C-alpha cells in the first residue's frame, strides 16, 4: 500500500522501518520527490522494498565489501547502513542550499534594480527546496530515536537473539545518524530564517526604490505645475491682447469699407 508515514514498528520476530528518501537526479522528472524505503529486519537477514530505482542497496553492499574485515555484518548493521546511506543523501543538497542562501543574502541589498530581475525567483526556488528537505527530514529523528530506545529497553550489552533486539554497537551507530539528522534539521531551519530575512529585505528594497521613483515623479510634477502656473497667466494675457488687436483691425477695415 506504499505507506508514506515514517515509522518503526516492532513485531514478535522482526521489526519494520519506513524511511523516506528522494530522487537526487537533477535531470529526472521526479527530482526531489519523496521515495518511501521499507526495511524488514529479521534475525537471519533483511528485506527491503522500494517502488522506484534507488542507489541505497548497492551503496550498502559496496560498503560491506570494503569493511568486511573490520565489522561483523548483522541484519541490524545492514539496517543501520541503509538508514545511514539515506541520511547521507541529504548532505549535498544542503551544502548547495547553504551556498545559495549566502549568495542571496549578500546580493539582495547590493544589486541595482536592473540586476534584481531574477532575485525573487531565486529566493522562492531556494525556500521551496528548503521546505522540501525539511518535510523529508522531519520525522527521521523520531524513527532513529525509537530504534535506539529499543536497544536501551532490551539491554545495552545484549546481542540479538530473538530477532527483536538491537546490539549496543549498532545503537551507537544509530545515535550518530540521529546526530546528523538533528544537525541537518537545525541547518535547514537556519537557512529558512536567512531566506525569510532576505525575502523581507528584497521586498523592502523594492518598496524603497518604488518610493524613490514616486518621489522623483512628484518632483517633476511639482516643477511642471510651477511652470504651468507661470505660463497660464501669460497665455491668458497674450490671448486677450491678441483678441483685442484682431477686434481693432476688424473695426478699421469696416470703417474703410463704409
The mean pLDDT value for 158-167 works out to 48
Q: How confident is the model at residue 245 (pLDDT cuts 50, 70, 90)?
A: low
Bridge partners of 10, per DSSP, are 15
Q: What is the CA radius of gyration of the chain?
A: 36
Fold (CATH) for 7-213: Methane Monooxygenase Hydroxylase; Chain G, domain 1 (1.20.58)
The mean pLDDT value for 126-135 works out to 90
Q: Report pLDDT digits (tens) over 206-243.
A: 777 778 778 888 888 787 777 777 776 777 767 666 66
pTM value is 0.74
The residues spanned by each domain of the chain are 7-213
Q: What is the pLDDT of residue 191?
A: 92
Contact 22, 34 (CB under 8 A): yes
Percent of the chain with pLDDT over 70: 80
Contact 46, 78 (CB under 8 A): yes
Who's near 36: CB < 8 A, 6+ residues apart? 2, 3, 4, 18, 19, 20, 21, 50, 51
Q: Which helix (H) or strand (E) holds 32?
A: none
Q: Report pLDDT digits (tens) over 166-199.
A: 567 788 888 889 999 999 999 999 999 998 888 8
Q: How is residue 112 annotated by DSSP? A: -
Amino acid at each position: 500500500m506504499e505507506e508514506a508515514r515514517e515509522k518503526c514498528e516492532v513485531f514478535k520476530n522482526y521489526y519494520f522501518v519506513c524511511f523516506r528518501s528522494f530522487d537526487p537526479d537533477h535531470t529526472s522528472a521526479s527530482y526531489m520527490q519523496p521515495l518511501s524505503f521499507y526495511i524488514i529486519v529479521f534475525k537471519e537477514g533483511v528485506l527491503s522494498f522500494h517502488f522506484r530505482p534507488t542507489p541505497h542497496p548497492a551503496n550498502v553492499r559496496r560498503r560491506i565489501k570494503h569493511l568486511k574485515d573490520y565489522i561483523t555484518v548483522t541484519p541490524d548493521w545492514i539496517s543501520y547502513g541503509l538508514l545511514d546511506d539515506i541520511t547521507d543523501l541529504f548532505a549535498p543538497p544542503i551544502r548547495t542550499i547553504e551556498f545559495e542562501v549566502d549568495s542571496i543574502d549578500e546580493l539582495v541589498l547590493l544589486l541595482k534594480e536592473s540586476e534584481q530581475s531574477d532575485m525573487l525567483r531565486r529566493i522562492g526556488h531556494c525556500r521551496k527546496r528548503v521546505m522540501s528537505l525539511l518535510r523529508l527530514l522531519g520525522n527521521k529523528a523520531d524513527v532513529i530515536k525509537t530504534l535506539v530506545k529499543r536497544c536501551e529497553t532490551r539491554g545495552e550489552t545484549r546481542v540479538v537473539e530473538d530477532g527483536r533486539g538491537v546490539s549496543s554497537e549498532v545503537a551507537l551507530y544509530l545515535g550518530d545518524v540521529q546526530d546528523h539528522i538533528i544537525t541537518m534539521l537545525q541547518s535547514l531551519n537556519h537557512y529558512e530564517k536567512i531566506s525569510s530575512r532576505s525575502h523581507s529585505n528584497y521586498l523592502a528594497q523594492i518598496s524603497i526604490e518604488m518610493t524613490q521613483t514616486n518621489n522623483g515623479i512628484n518632483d517633476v510634477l511639482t516643477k511642471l505645475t510651477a511652470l504651468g502656473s507661470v505660463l497660464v497667466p501669460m497665455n491668458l494675457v497674450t490671448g486677450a491682447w491678441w483678441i483685442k488687436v484682431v477686434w481693432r483691425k476688424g473695426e478699421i477695415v469696416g470703417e474703410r469699407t463704409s
